[in-house]
Structure 1
Amino acid sequence: MRILFLSTSLFALAGAAHAAPAPAQTSDQSAEIKPLDETQDIVVTGRVGATDLRKVEASYAITTIDDAKLRISNPISAAEAFKQVPGFWVESSGGEGSNNVRSRGIPTDGFSSVALQENGLSVQYDGGLGYLNADQSFRFDETIARVEAVRGGPASIFAPNAPGGLVNFISRRGTDNPGGMVKYSWGDYDLARVDAYYGTRIADNWGVFVGGFYRRDHGLRDTGYRASDGGQIRATIDYDDGRNRFMLDVKHLDDKVPFYLPVPLTFDGKGKIIEVPGFDALHGTLAGPENAHVAIRNVGGPFDFDLTEGSHTKMTQVALESRFEMADGFGWENRTHYRDSKILRNALFPTGNVTALGDYLASLNGALAAFPGATGLRAQYATDGAPFTASANGNGLVVGGNLLSVSVPMDELITDQRFTAEFEAAGKHSFAIGGTYGYYNYRFDRYMGTALLEIADQARRLDVVAVNAAGAVVGRVTDNGFLSYGSLYDNVGMKVNAYALYAGDEWQITPKLRLDFAGRYERNDISGMVARKTTVNLGDPTTLADDKVNTGTGQFDLVDRSFDHWGWTVGANYQFTPDAGLFARYTDTFKLPSAGDYNGNPTRTDQSPIPIKMAEIGAKYSASWLNLYATGFYTKFKGVRFTDNVFDTKTNTYTQRFATADTVAYGVELEALIRPVKYFDLGLQLTWQDPQYKGFTYTELVNGKPTIRDFDGKQLIRVPKLAIRAVPAINLFKGRLRTELEIERYSERFPDIANSQVLPRYTNLNLNIRGEVTKFLTLTANITNLTNKIELTEGNPRAGSFVSGDAGARYFLARPNFGRTVRVSAAVKF
């Protein structure tokens, strides 16, 4: 009923606006709701030339997302915006930060191979730094005007850590004369959010801009406390006289958001994945008020764990962008930013296997020997001692839960300087030579306690106590619900100096033929200290929970590593007509090791640059009624180091194993926008690919015997072979009311390299409605997961990414998309 009411209200308001005389619209206002048109999109990302280049003329695969698309889809995160890019597989079920994105079968998670940029400069030099994804340092809001996404090709030449591509969020500025806007958003998960901005020219060539947001809510999964709280503000002054431009941008972010993790699931009699009784798989979470504030015992005193902090980012960034024309055709470009940030990540990670209470207690029988007189074990709630039985919550199930806190304060400077030249020599050249310098230093402090939890929404901690024949308690396996205090500990300080030199040329040989060349050399110097670790007994003889607490020895291992490599790309574009062309490109590039690889392994010697080879060929057509971009691609990563972090429930610690293998992917991307009539259009993004591991073998001990595991030819984890996103849309009342249905279809995926567990195919439906009620007032409604179905995006990495420990189990952990949610916003322009 609520959805029907919201939709009906928007149609009624749009009808009222239609009945009144249509007000005159500025170009900015009409661009928001008019039928989409990409024929004149000018691209600035992934290239060296300073002259205008239309999307249809590019020699690489690029997707543009303009203001109209962003405003109606209203993405809640940067990752959500990525879903409009073919070739990208995006997991946005983690919330507003720390999501995963992969492009064209790249074998690494997070943002380690896809660069997130803001105004042409990386948000973070290493976007996949351990526990610090680039999207934790960035928030999408109304100050962003448009997005450009490059897949493969030249991305790795002009940005660090970008072999899979780069996504550039371009902000508004005062010289664009954006005017002002205030927008209020409401959501059925207690969302209240205000976005606002104002920009204007203060002189012929000078502009000022200020904008930001403030938001709070209880979470897309109900945590029982305020899960998201905070906002962002930015102020910009810019100058643009057509030849020279300058922008100074200051941004402050103070925002905390939850990180959503896998939930318990099971199967029905027909093998269909369903909820576990007593747990809401679509809106529930194990995180809740009982674990919001917990004192975790530690060496020297308790550790104050605050789950309500979630992923809390405090960051101040100062950015400078400029271009100066030194003479006709010759210019100097600068992009620089400095950030001071403190990022805290607190979350409850379910771990191990979901187990029936009786089976779990039986697995602990060996603990009875630690308590003289003990004859059995009993479970009870940690906070009040009430019994926990085999029928509790309608399921009688338990699971381990890691209460993990990671603090990563970081200072970072990135500067990119580029000299550009345009000249004639057997055709027209747009040439650039430049360099990038990145410096960042960070701390990595990690502490964790492992608890025992019931399977229930907003789960409570459980204690296991040893009892004698009379039922009296004679000892405790756990303490305040904790199986192990200090089950993980790290104390790291790292520093990185990164240097890159690059050059490129766009050579327009004839009016129809253009060749593009570019190369990059990069070197990273990594240094730092990593604390050595030991285990200590905190000395409580009545419990086993404090017997093996990880802590530092006071000694440190030094890290001093340097890596360098160079890469190049060449592309050709032939333009049959201004609106149709073909391109081909070959790229030989690399990915350098990350400083984060040494956070827990300072003495490892298996790290080296990863060579990457990519090829693509594409056809393009752009007209008033049809935009069509089709690209075939091939990608090969050679000698990738894979790490399997498995949580051992017997020792309550992580174990690691490593393997080295290649990956190969080939496929086809299709991007189209069809506008047969002004009332209707259809957007389509399709990706078919075959991503495989090559030479993935390793040996492990099974029952004391070495056993070879061979996963050659297995499908890359998490990545679907087929991904389709179709968006049919209706435009009514002269374009003042637009309704879109997003249809997303994904084929089956696997959470482990052995492909032993299946993440089923699914179809997701979202509805977007946007209506211009008056010249100044616009209403928008976004309804996600219309069918309210369970749609799994990832499994449980802590059960094993080589071979899943959940494979074949009756109960398992996985992370679904969020259940149906409704957001409504009202925006007033002035």
Structure 2
Amino acid sequence: MRGPLAIAGSASALAIALATTPVVAQTVPNDPAAKASTAQPVPTGADTQAQPGDIPDAARQTEDIVVTASSGERSRFRSSISVSQISQEAIQNFTPRSEAEVLRNIPGLQPSDTAGPGGNANIGVRGIPVSTGGSEYVALQEDGLPTVLFGDINFGNNDYWLRFDQNVQRVEAVRGGSASTFASQAPGAVVNYISKTGETEGGQIAYSNGIGYREHRIDFDYGAPVSDTLRFHVGGYARKGGGLTNENFNILKGYQIKANVTKDFADNRGFVRLFFKRLDEQAPTNTTTPSLATLDGNRITDFAPLPTFDERDGSSYTIYNRAYRYLDYDGQQRDAEVQGIHPRVTGLGSQFHYDLGSGLTIDDTIRYQWIKGNFTTQFINVLPRTGTGGLIGSTVNGQVVGTARYAAGPNQGQIYTGAYVNNNPNINTLMKNMDNFANNLALTGKFDVGGGRATITGGWFHMRQNIVQDWHVNRQFSELNGENAAPLDLFSTTGTQLTAAGQAGFNDNWGTCCARRVDLTYTDNAPFLNVGWETGGLNLDASVRYDKVHGEGTAQGGVAGPTATVTDALGSARIPSLVLSNTVERVNYSDDYVSWSIGALYAFSRETSLFARASRGGRFNADRRVLSGNFNADGSLNTQGQATSVNFLNQQEIGLKQRGGMFGGSYSVEVTGFRSTLTENNYDFTRINNPAPNNDPNISNSYRSYGVEFTSRLTAGNFHLAVDATYSKSKITDSVTAALVGKKPGGLPDFLFVVSPSYDAGIAAFGVSVNGQTSTKSDDFNLYTIKGSTFVNGFLTIRPFDKLELGLNANNLFNKLGFRGGGGLFPILSSTQAVFNNTALYGRTVTGSIR
């Protein structure tokens, strides 16, 4: 998603764009509704209006009440947890192109923010790797409830289902600590998108557009009190275009609408709030965008574009593969439209808060989401056309490949002579039913005890998650070209056509595991208890959570199916297939575990506080365990399954919080040292086709990480500076694969940072954001070291009239070619050069807007 909305509309080239400091800025008052939020809270999200050029006070912001993964009783300064609160305007200033890019502003998180606006990012935390994909130990929430129960659902990661827009009042994140006990399936961190709720009348409307690429977008939001006890907020966006890679068709299109209505009770006793959300948007997701890597021994020292593929703006989306054929499991051939990731979410929910008197309050948050969608795209993998390991001379469908011809485009029928071929699959996953229901109920009591104030919160969290999917992963061949690649038809040495429209097989690219149908439901019931006591500068708290998760349903893998005759412009081919096996794996089991957290904070003065915390959180392994040998015939866990169904993350942390005056302004600084240990058992089917030694799908490793998180804010007059950084040192301490012991987990940098200075003079504002990381290892075996990369974003805002903003912002201002995370090398071209396979960050993209 786009942060600062951009305009450039048409000929007049209003290359002046959205200021990322919008007319309406949000602050968080210490209001009763916000304080009342509990275990999975939904805060009020006040919309206090500020004048253009009004810069937040850095020290004052530390008094904002923390409502995420906490009791909702204390400010950031007085909370014994590591917490970040990022305003809407701060995020918009520096142009996030995806949800993962929003998270780069949060210390401790390690997002691989290269997947694009559709989602599918890997999100790590505090040096703990993402072993399978998605967000194993980090929950993404909207108004206090998780988007999905598990952040790493196969083809259902939690960043598919939400979008940052003008409805968001702020993003709040808690790392470690109480994330273990105030949320389920999120022992590493909880990130909460908190909505505006209409306390102050006002809103915004903006038109934005890409400069040099097609993306038209309209954003709006408006909220207001209707009476002294009734208020509302509504907003959303619609956009369409060719996406950041400027495709020749509308790969990006859709909308989101969100609304809420709040009724306050008499005598300030509480409120009831109703929520609505509709998201329907297809957006591109990137898998591999390969490059040429320069080698110095086992070090990758530089990157350069391939002759026909510039990974900064190249993609697999093409006018010659707008749709492709797949074999459905009813035996019929059908066409799938390439849409990237297309989520369709309709959500209804409510929040209830009521002061019962005598120090007792009750809170309940409830939501039902109707969710479905599809993941339909073309993956990329680099294969030499000729030479060792190349396409020509290899065996496809039982015959030796003699030639490759263009199957579409202006060169249709001609022999393809390019150096490289893309032999990765096209994939169509139908997310037929991803519905979920969540409810969080809490009762809080406040009592005078022992000369201090005690707070006791007890409650119950319930969530039910459906995972109903069909997978169609088809073998495919096409030219390697970053713009409008054409499919390739292969012909044997005897002239037999082996593929049609580039397709060589139906449902069979990843083997029998992945011609898959799953019909699963997971239910998590979790009672929780938090006890806190405060006197003077001392806060003590302890919390415990008991999760009992039940999984039930069925899963089917594939077996050899019929050979289908498929015709295209060059002729016809006999295409083999996999179809669903008659053998059904049954899932019917429960597991339970206890998570706990203990913390203490002492405020030495109004300027300085120190905290310490220890915690253990559980993480249930859900759908990634099916079809991997974990279940008995009756659906119960076998011995292997019992040993691997839950992973535990242990964390210890100590932190210092400091605030005060400086240079005529104010500042806040938080420094947290942490140590994390994890024993993970999991299964990653995608490793099966990797080159050795990275081809074992079974994961059984122990990890240890320690490090420091740093976050600071400085406000001096019109100048504002934000600095966030994370240092972590990680290693694999134990593994069933002996060669991994002592190695550094692949894809994790030791150091990440974001430095963002800005200046706002009222009539104009400008700023830059410098973000980067140090080197990483290519994989868990540490075969190669990959150089780190630093990127620069920037914005400029002009306000020529009251309530009007024109703006310009740029992401990757210097068009840097670089990567996040690890990656593989194949093919090796020489002792000093190879093809590097990972996903690069987008090149320079500039947006302009009028608001």
Q: 1:401 to 1:191 in 2, by over 3 A?
A: same
Residue 287 of structure 1 aligns with which residue?
Answer: 317
Distance 1:547-1:266 versus aligned 2 partners, 3 A rule: same
Between the aligned partners of 2:804 and 2:830, the Cα distance in structure 1 is 51
Task: Determine which of 81, 89, 92 is the counterpart of 2:113.
Answer: 92
TM-score (norm 1): 0.88
User: Pick from 49, 63, 72: which aligns with 1:28?
Assistant: 49
* 1:36 CA drift (Å): 4.8
* Corresponding residue of 2:275: 249
- Once the two structures are superposed, the pairs formed by residues 399-410 of structure 1 within 5 Å of their partners are 399-408=422-431, 409-410=433-434
Matched, 1:748 2:775: yes
Name the counterpart of 2:537. 512
Q: Structure 1's 511 and 770: CA in aligned 2 closer, same or farther, altered over 3 A?
A: farther
Partner Cα distance (1:786, 1:588) in 2: 42
Equivalent position of 1:314 in the other structure: 344
Distance in structure 2 (CA, Å) of the matches to 1:592 and 1:12: 43
1:212-266 C-alpha deviation (Å, 9 max, x unpaired) = 1111120112333211100111221102353301110111111111111211211
Q: Could you say which residue in structure 2 is the equivalent of 1:259?
A: 285
In the alignment, is the contact (CA less than 8 A) between 2:20 and 2:93 conserved in 1?
A: no
Shift of 1:324: 0.6
Of residues 156, 179, 183, the one that matches 2:202 is 179
Q: Which residue of 2 aligns with 1:574?
A: 602
- Give the aligned partner of residue 613 of structure 1: 650
**What residue number does 1:429 align with?**
454
- Aligned partner of 1:327 in structure 2 is 357
Aligned-partner SS, 2:380: strand
Q: Secondary structure at the match of 2:91?
A: helix
Per the alignment, residue 275 of structure 1 pairs with 305
Q: Is the 8 Å Cα contact of residues 153 and 569 (structure 1) preserved in structure 2? A: yes
Is residue 45–residue 150 contact of structure 1 (8 Å, CA) maintained in 2?
A: no
1:69 is aligned to 2:100 = no
Q: Check 1:810–1:669 CA distance in 2 against 1; reply closer, same or farther (3 A cut).
A: same
Residue matched to 1:641: 682
How many angstroms does 1:756 deviate by?
Answer: 1.3
C-alpha separation in 1, matches of 2:479 and 2:730 = 38
Structure 1 segments (4+ residues) deviating >6 Å? 5-8, 10-14, 541-545, 797-800, 804-809
Report the 3-state secondary structure (helix = DSSP H, G, I; strand = E; otherwise coil) of the residue aligned with 1:70. helix
**Matched ranges for 1:752-767 at <5 A:** 752-767=779-794
CA positional deviation for 1:95: 1.2
Matched, 1:303 2:330: no
Q: Which residue of 2 aligns with 1:726?
A: 755
Contact 2:468 2:520 in 1 (8 A): yes
What aligned pairs does 1:648-659 form with structure 2 within 5 A after superposition?
A: 648=689, 657-659=697-699
Q: Which amino acid aligns with 2:202?
A: G
C-alpha change, 1:13 and 1:183, in structure 2 (3 Å) is closer
C-alpha deviation, 1:101, in angstroms: 1.2
Of 663, 672, 678, 2:717 maps to 678
- Equivalent position amino acid for 1:98 in 2: N
Aligned to 1:17: none
- Change beyond 3 A, Cα 1:124–1:736: farther
State how far apart, in whole Å, the 2-side matches of 1:50 and 1:657 are: 42
Once the 2 structures are TM-superposed, how far is the Cα of residue 440 of structure 1 from its aligned partner?
2.0
Report the AA paired with residue 375 of structure 2: R
Deviations 1:649-701 (Å, cap 9, x if unpaired)?
99xxx9753131101100001111123x3132321111111011111342xxx
Counterpart Cα distance in 2 of 1:541 and 1:111: 39
Could you tell me how far 1:47 is from its partner in structure 2?
A: 5.0
In 1, the alpha carbon distance for the partners of 2:67 and 2:627 equals: 33
Change (3 A) 1:544 1:363: farther
Q: CA deviation at 1:113?
A: 1.0
Question: Residues 240 and 32 of structure 1: is their aligned pair in 2 closer, same or farther, counting only changes over 3 Å?
Answer: farther
CA contact (8 A) 2:17 2:809 kept: no
Report the equivalent of 1:44.
Answer: 66
- 2:794 paired with 1:770: no
Q: 1:164-209: CA deviations, max 9, x gaps? A: 11011110112x1241321111113211111112211111011022
Equivalent residue, structure 1, for 2:41: none
Q: Map of 1:200-211 to 2, 5 A cutoff?
A: 200-211=224-235
Q: 1:602 to 1:134 in 2, by over 3 A?
A: same
2: CA distance, partners of 1:115 / 1:576 = 33
Shift of 1:66: 1.9
Decide whether the 8 Å contact of 1:35 with 1:678 is kept in 2: no
Larger mean CA deviation between 477-486 and 147-156 belongs to 477-486
The equivalences for 1:406-417 within 5 A come to 406-408=429-431, 409-417=433-441
Question: Do the aligned residues in 1 keep the contact of 2:122 with 2:135 (CA within 8 Å)?
Answer: yes
Give 1:114 shift. Answer: 0.6
Which residue of 693, 706, 709 corresponds with 1:669?
A: 709
Matches within 5 A, 1:184-199: 184-188=207-211, 189-199=213-223
Displacement of 1:717 after TM fit?
Answer: 2.1
Map Cα deviations across residues 26-73 of structure 1 (whole Å, 9 max, x no partner).
Answer: 96132775255352442333455354x221111010001123313423
Whole-angstrom CA distance in 2 between matches of 1:674 and 1:751: 37
What RMSD over aligned residues (CA atoms) do the two structures have, in Å? 3.1
The AA in structure 2 aligned to 1:77 is S
Alignment partner, residue 817 of structure 2: 790
The number of equivalent residue pairs is: 777
Taking the TM superposition and a 5 Å limit, the aligned residue runs for 1:80-479 are 80-96=101-117, 97-108=119-130, 109-174=133-198, 176-188=199-211, 189-241=213-265, 242-267=268-293, 272-297=302-327, 300-307=331-338, 309-351=339-381, 353-359=382-388, 364-365=393-394, 377-383=402-408, 385-390=412-417, 392=418, 396-408=419-431, 409-426=433-450, 427-457=452-482, 458-468=484-494, 473=495, 475-479=496-500
SS in 2 for 1:477: coil
1:715, 1:750 within 8 Å by CA — same for their partners in 2?
yes
Superposed displacement of residue 797, structure 1 = 7.6
| CA deviation map 1:269-306 (0-9, x unaligned) | 98521000122221111221111112235672313121
**Aligned with 1:486: secondary structure?**
coil
- What is the SS of the residue equivalent to 1:158? coil
2:599 maps to 1:586:
no
Would the aligned equivalents of 2:240 and 2:254 in 1 still touch at CA under 8 Å?
yes
Q: 2:660 aligns with which of 604, 623, 641?
A: 623
The offset of 1:399, in angstroms, is 2.3
Structure 2: which amino acid aligns with 1:103?
V
Pair 1:539–1:453, CA change in 2 (3 A)? closer
Distance 1:354 1:367 in 2: 14
**Aligned AA for 2:774?**
S
| Conserved? CA contact 1:558–1:602, under 8 Å | no
> Residues 549 and 808 (structure 1 numbering): CA distance in 2 closer, same or farther, change over 3 Å?
farther
The one-letter amino acid paired with 1:515 is L
TM-score (norm 2): 0.86
Distance 1:683-1:526 versus aligned 2 partners, 3 A rule: same
The amino acid across from 2:795 in the alignment is N
Residue type matched to 1:634 in 2? R
Q: Which segment drifts farther, 627-636 or 399-408?
A: 399-408
Match of 1:693 in 2: 732
**Residue 814 in structure 1 maps to residue 838 in structure 2:** yes
Classify the secondary structure of the residue corresponding to 2:838. strand
Asked whether the 8 Å contact 1:244–1:323 carries over to 2, the reply is yes
Q: Which has the higher contact order (CA 8 A, sep 6+)?
A: 2
Q: 1:639 to 1:68 in 2, by over 3 A?
A: closer
Residue 28 of structure 2 is matched in structure 1 by none
Check conservation: 1:799, 1:806, Cα contact below 8 A.
no
Tell me, what secondary structure is at the counterpart of 2:782? coil
State the alpha-carbon separation in 1 of the partners of residues 13 and 104 from structure 2: 25
The answer for the alignment partner of 1:22 in structure 2 is none
* Alignment correspondent of 2:24: none
Percent of matched pairs sharing the same residue: 23
- The aligned residue for residue 35 of structure 2 is none
Helix, strand or coil: the match of 2:206?
strand
2:824, 2:836 within 8 Å by CA — same for their partners in 1? no
Give, in whole Å, the separation in 1 of the partners of 2:197 and 2:75: 22
Give the aligned residue type for 2:402: L
The more displaced of 561-570 and 528-537 is 528-537
Corresponding residue number in structure 2 for 1:553: 581
